[in-house]
Amino acid sequence: MGAAFFYHLTRKPLEATLPMLLGKARQAGWRVAVRGTDSARMAWLDEKLWLGPEDGFLPHGLAGQPHEADQPVLLTTGRDMPNGAACLMAVDGAEVDAQEVQALERVCILFDGHDPAAVQAARAQWKALTGAGARAQYWSEETGRWEKKAEA
């Protein structure tokens, strides 16, 4: 039984925070699906991940490309996870349902704290997921380090 972790991005952008979280998920031994809402944005994230730190190679690929099932990290806009992901990271308001939270080891929902629409969407997701019985945690970086601010 998994949990949804909400990450309120206020200091570092998605392209800086995502590699850190992906690294932690990979250290836990999980395959990961990164779900977005726009294929061009996923291609942009793909490029950003390839340009990461020299000492932090993060093997990944885009859905729809050859060997997608073999990717430890798969960037997708779809709901299916052909790489057998145990962890789902939802970005840019991608939808997640309570059944996914229950079925996976972890669901991470990353949202831009400087975008009022993104904050509102994350609040709605929190309410929907916790209302359906999913466990959830809210994490904030407002102090300069990640701190758990709420749990349900």
Sketch the domain layout of the chain as residue ranges.
3-151
pTM of the model as a whole: 0.94
- Give the homologous superfamily in CATH for domain 3-151: DNA polymerase III subunit chi (3.40.50.10110)
Torsion of CA 123, 125, 131, 137, to 10 degrees: -70
Cα–Cα nearest to 32, from 63, 73, 65:
73
pLDDT category, 146, cuts 50, 70, 90? Answer: very high
Over 90: is that where the pLDDT of 58 sits? no
Give the Cα separation of 52 and 37 in Å (integer).
Answer: 22
Tokens for 69?
């099932």
Q: How far apart are the first and last CA of the chain?
A: 14
